[in-house]
A and B are shown apart, each in its own frame.
Chain A
């Protein structure tokens, strides 16, 4: 290889590294922004992700039915073909009932959430273990969803909208280390910032700046405080699963397991209208009588 060609090769490699650094700097400055090129690429990616997600769910459904049918056959050899058909139909009905239940819970959540919401279908979750992000497909007019909007399920808070491109949006899950949500422990009234713990062996968060004066216990519920103006107040977030002993300083070190099962996310609600202003009265922060608001 001649020196000219070697120089050209080095220039191309250097150029790609420089481009990557520029992209990094831009995304660090404005995390929610996307260029026209990014949006164009996503227009190619999202339909494929959506189709693949649909196929994957169909395959898991068929596999589940197969396992169930095999099990039934081994236990009941004398069953007639009609019985098998009926059982298959029953399985399908149960699946439909479960799906219907999920939608009803979602609708129930929509009715009681003190803000305007729209439903979205999850098409991809956690492609990288170092960035906990879900992609949702929203069958709604473009522009309805914006950066920072909260995302919920009937079980509790999922996260907030990070990037929007056409009808698809990236949801920064609350277990991502970049996520920060103002939370309160209703039993003690202690407030802190819920932050995700990246790439742990399970979906976990920690509460930062939780004052020592209000000791937390394992099993305590954690809900949104409503402060910060993003999340409606008193939405279920998770439960304290570990109080780490030996921490020194002003704050406690606690671990929270989210109420939402992120491995099974399928439908979510995006809060598109701002929630009502929170009650900042310190006395109202103690909520032992009401407990966390769980929409079921």
Chain B
């Protein structure tokens, strides 16, 4: 249920990302909304690492199809980013607007570097160049992060309250750091 709703919202966000440039004054770069979905599932303790990886893969694959990128590029990078987010969540409680935005900014820069590396493997003619837009993309992603992550927190809350009514609720507040073992 939680995965299905998250994937549906991810689908809507990816559609928005692929068409939002029609509205933007600058037509070169859009915020990486798909990455924010992955950050949410990776950072939240309500998601197991396996379900976070599956949602990250599905979101990445969907983004490959909506963006026209070679299939598998974003799917691969998004799964890695989900693992990165999970590793981060064991050390840092990503809460509040500033920390959410900063985490999304750093994650977006990292994802951009990974995408360029993977692209160079799939299409060597493109080389490793082309990271000049990464800071701007990261900045836009950081600006959108508090809103999108907040939206997903609300969705998780709604799912939890529905589950608790039938005695299936699990996990504490979203983005609680996962206890270090």
B-binding residues in A (CB < 8 A): 8-9, 12-13, 16-17, 19-28, 31, 38, 41-42, 44-45, 48-49, 52-53, 56-57, 59-60, 123-131, 133-135, 162-163, 170-172, 176-178, 180, 195, 197-203, 262-264
With contacts A20-B79, A24-B73, A52-B16 known, is A198 near B130, CB below 8 A? yes
A-B pairs, 7 with minimum CB distance: A133-B68, A177-B126, A263-B27, A23-B72, A24-B72, A199-B130, A198-B130
In the bound complex, do residue A126 and residue B20 qualify as a contact, i.e. CB atoms below 8 Å apart?
no
Of the listed residues A133, A202, A262, the one surrounded by the most CB atoms of chain B closer than 10 A to its CB is A133
Which residue of the partner chain, among B21, B69, B83, contacts A125 with CB atoms under 8 Å?
Answer: B21
21 interchain pairs, CB-CB under 8 A: A13-B50, A20-B79, A23-B76, A24-B121, A27-B71, A28-B122, A44-B11, A49-B18, A56-B19, A124-B66, A126-B28, A127-B68, A131-B67, A134-B68, A135-B18, A170-B68, A171-B68, A172-B68, A178-B126, A199-B132, A201-B28
Q: B125 — which chain A residues lie within 8 A by C-beta?
A: 177-178, 180, 195
Contact A41 B123, beta carbon cutoff 8 Å: no
Q: Which chain A positions have C-beta within 8 A of B147?
A: none
B117-143 Cβ-contact flags toward A at 8 Å (1 or 0): 011011101110111111001000000
Cβ 8 A contact of A24, one of B12, B15, B76: B76
Q: How far in angstroms is the closest Cβ of chain B from A149?
A: 15
How many residues of chain B have a CB within 8 Å of chain A? 61
B77 nearest CB across to chain A (Å):
8
Contact A19 B18 (CB under 8 A): no
In the complex, how many residue pairs between chain A and chain B have their CB atoms under 8 Å apart?
A: 187
Q: Contacts A20-B60, A199-B130, A200-B132 hold; do A177 and B17 have CB atoms under 8 A apart?
A: no
Q: Provided the pairs A12-B50, A53-B19, A199-B131 are in contact, do residues A17 and B76 lie with their beta carbons within 8 angstroms?
A: yes
Question: Is the pair A24, B122 in contact by a Cβ cutoff of 8 Å?
Answer: yes
Q: What residue in chain B is nearest A48 (Cβ atoms)?
A: B15
B56–A16 CB distance below 8 A: yes
Chain B residues lying within 8 Å of A201, measured Cβ to Cβ, are: 28, 132-133
Can you add 18 more A-B contacts, CB < 8 Å, to A12-B54, A13-B53, A201-B28? A13-B50, A13-B83, A16-B75, A20-B72, A20-B79, A28-B121, A31-B70, A41-B65, A42-B65, A45-B11, A49-B18, A52-B16, A125-B21, A128-B115, A129-B134, A131-B69, A135-B18, A180-B125
Shortest CB-to-CB span from A266 to chain B, Å, is 9
| Given A45-B66, A127-B30, A131-B67: A21 touches B72 (CB 8 Å cut-off) | yes
Residues of B within 8 A of A262 (CB): 27
Whether, in the assembled complex, B164 has its beta carbon less than 8 Å from a beta carbon of chain A, the answer is no
Instruction: Specify which of B23, B72, B83, B130 is in contact with A177 (CB 8 Å cutoff).
Output: B130
In the assembled complex, B152 has its CB within 8 A of some CB on chain A: no
Q: Check A163 against B68 for contact (C-beta < 8 Å).
A: yes
Complex interface: chain A residues within 8 A of B30 (CB): 126-127, 129
- Nearest residue (CB) in B for A46 is B66
Q: Which residues of A contact B79 (CB under 8 A)?
A: 13, 16-17, 20
Cα A201 to Cα B65 in complex, Å, equals 24
Is the pair B27, A126 in contact by a Cβ cutoff of 8 Å? Answer: yes
Which one of A25, A123, A129 has the greatest number of beta carbons of chain B within 10 Å? Answer: A129
Q: Digit string of B65-99 for contact with A (CB within 8 Å is 1, else 0)?
A: 11111111111100110010000000000000000
A130–B19 touching, CB < 8 Å:
no
Contact B69 A128, beta carbon cutoff 8 Å: yes
Q: Is the CB of B19 within 8 A of A49?
A: yes
Distance of A61 from chain B, by nearest CB (Å): 11
Residues of A within 8 A of B123 (CB): 28, 177-178
Nearest chain B residue, comparing its CB with the CB of A9: B50
How many angstroms from the CA of A42 to the CA of B54 in the assembled complex? 20
Interface residue? B48 (CB, 8 A)? yes
A53 to B16, CA, bound (A): 9
Picked from B29, B61, B133, the residue with its CB within 8 Å of the CB of A23 is: B61
Query: Which residues on the B side are within 8 Å of A49 (C-beta)?
Result: 15, 18-19, 66
- Complex Cα–Cα for A109 and B75 (A): 39
For B57, what are the chain A residues with a Cβ–Cβ distance below 8 Å?
A: 16, 19-20
Q: Which residue of A12, A127, A134 has the most chain B CB atoms within 10 A of its CB atom? A: A127
With beta carbons under 8 angstroms apart, the residue of A25, A26, A53, A128 that contacts B67 is A128
